[in-house]
Chain A
Amino acid sequence: MQAPDHSLLTELGKKLVAGSFSDANLQRATDATPDIAILPWVNVVKIGGQSIMDRGRDAVFPLVDEIIANLKRHKMILGTGAGTRARHIYSLAIELGLPVGVLTVLGTAVAWQNAQMLQYLLAKHGIAFLEPEGFASLPHYLMERGAVICQGMPPYKLWEANPAIGRIPPQRTDTGCFLIAEVYGARKMIYVKDEDGLYTADPKKDRNAKHIARISVQELLAADQDDLVVERAVLDLMLSARHIHEIQFINGLKPGQLSAALAGEPVGSIIFNAEHEQRKAS
């Protein structure tokens, strides 16, 4: 066989073809490449399952009205959480001895149901639902109609990795929506829940819990809390994300919070990457 002609390849390309991906030097060489943001104007908005969708009309209708009011101003990818039916099927499937990958397939169906319901409420405004396989059409729908709906789970299906402890899929709808924001280089990642954001303790159980307006992901990870406002996988991914350096948590039960967050106001709580802030400052 003739020696391959690599003259069309960049210097990095030659290393990629010849080298081992496990080599940290090669990995670092790819770190120095530029990044383009594919959809820099899009906002990813995750609608909580247990916190919003399971509450039904009282919580969902005002939020839908607020989404509609923002359609002309802000482009949104609306991802849905799973909620109580996922908790039921996880319990049942764990008891039946089924593996984490199967639980992911089952949980995805619940987030999908919530996405469908949300889409029925937004359908008359021309808002489409997209499966992961249809994401190539996403820019078109966003330009035409201002928003699309998707289910929030990452499409890992049977390929979901086991958690270190327990049997619940570690990468669920918080993670799936975060990764959508990251891959498109989105303007904002907003999580709509039923609390004003982060607290020093669970405000549902502790009256002395204090609200935290802004905290770094590094500080939050170091605190190693027993409970968190977001999946731990999101915090880990924030450390290596190249586009999304802060995420915002707002109370979807309070009218106006989503609009304020979309307008760039610091409502709710913000988790930010302190390393990125330092790099920006220096």
Chain B
Amino acid sequence: MNSDRSDPLHRQAGAQHVVSRLMRESLVDKAVIAGTEAPVRAILPRLNVIQIGGMSIMDRGQAAVMPLLKEIVANQDDHMQVIGVGPGVRARHILSVGLDLGLPTGALATLAAKSSAQNAYMISCLLADSGFVYLEAPFIVQLLPAMLAAARGAVFNGIPPYDLWEHPPAIGKIPPHGSDAGSYLVGEVFGARSVILLKDVDGLYTADPKNDSRAALIDDIGVAELAARKLPTLPIEPVLLDLLANAKLVKSIRIVNGLVPGNLTRALKGEPVGTLIHV
């Protein structure tokens, strides 16, 4: 290595290299990949990421949205909050039209992301008076810490900016990374204190409570156990389980009923409300 250091532009085998631990290595090599395992620092450890569901909350309008926003504002002094917002029924509609036209998953993802951007923008307007700002993805990348220092909270599009680069899913054509995945990933990359998903159900049930009266609420469950149960439907995007399994910093998410006043406050305090899904 000493000889490498004397020539920081290590010229060998026809290529000009910059000296580094990964120099000339294959980044696909399993041993090289395993060698990069190391602790990760939390960038914003006081951050709480709260996701407002699209169909479950936003599409219900004022009756569901306004009490929730009031509760968010009431928690401003105690908790740093950024709000992700889901797309709801307009995304379902454009997926329907887009699928009928034969558009690929990447195009569908780009279209659906505009529906959640609309919802996020509406939420930011309703929270503007309390100092929340709306941040598009490039501003999350560059400005979130500054905005949180200056503003009193931020709202972002829950759907991640995968756009045309969204993965074709294993089955069918529905974009797999929705606002649950996007909100979680924002929490994970900043090393957030918590990721709370607000839905219109009390949490995760042993069966779908809308169809089965014997369905029981699960307070707490591991990702592996949940995946093994192979429930026919989930109140969250299935891809979230894969993301959680690889978590470095945010090792759990909490699903709570955003239609019940007080639930968000309890979740922010760390009380066992709804369902905790953890690694």
Contacts and interface: CB of A to CB of B under 8 A. Distances in A.
A and B found bound together = yes
B22 interface: yes
A268 interface: no
B100 A50 contact: no
Interface in A139-167: 154-167
A230 B99 CA distance: 31
Interface string A76-98: 00000000110110111011111
Contacts of B140: 158
Nearest to B249: A99
Contacts of A160: 185
A36 B17 contact: no
Interface stretch (A5-13, A66-74, A211-219, A269-277): A5-13
Contact of B41 (A20, A54, A97, A135): A97
Given A157-B161, A158-B185, A99 B95 contact: no
B164 A135 contact: yes
Contacts of B33: 163, 165-166, 168
Nearest to B165: A154
Interface in B2-33: 14-31, 33
A128 interface: no
Interface in B49-99: 89, 92-93, 95-97, 99
Interface string A1-40: 0000000011011001100111110111111011110100
Contacts of B25: 87
Contacts of B166: 179, 183
A168 B151 CA distance: 33
A163 B17 CA distance: 25
21 contacts: A24-B171, A30-B99, A38-B107, A56-B15, A58-B14, A95-B38, A98-B40, A98-B41, A99-B248, A101-B188, A158-B185, A159-B137, A165-B33, A166-B36, A183-B164, A183-B166, A226-B31, A230-B28, A232-B28, A240-B167, A240-B171
Interface of B: 14-31, 33-41, 43, 89, 92-93, 95-97, 99-107, 137-138, 140-141, 160-174, 178, 182, 185-186, 188-191, 232-234, 236-238, 242-243, 245-249
Contact of A162 (B29, B232, B248): B248
Interface residues on A, range: 35 or more
B104 A13 contact: no
Contacts of B191: 99
Given A22-B234, A156-B162, 19 more contacts: A9-B96, A13-B92, A13-B93, A26-B172, A34-B102, A58-B14, A59-B14, A84-B17, A87-B20, A88-B18, A97-B39, A99-B188, A159-B160, A165-B30, A165-B37, A179-B164, A185-B104, A226-B31, A240-B169
A64 interface: no
Contact of B189 (A12, A34, A97, A159): A159
A17 B172 contact: no
Contacts of A237: 167-168
A143 to B, nearest CB: 19
Contact of A166 (B20, B37, B103, B137): B37
A231 interface: yes
A201 interface: no
B185 A231 contact: no
A100 interface: yes
A182 interface: yes
A128 B185 CA distance: 33
Which 6 residue pairs are nearest across A and B when measured between Cβ atoms? A13-B96, A183-B106, A97-B41, A101-B189, A30-B172, A87-B22
Contacts of A231: 27-28
A94 to B, nearest CB: 5
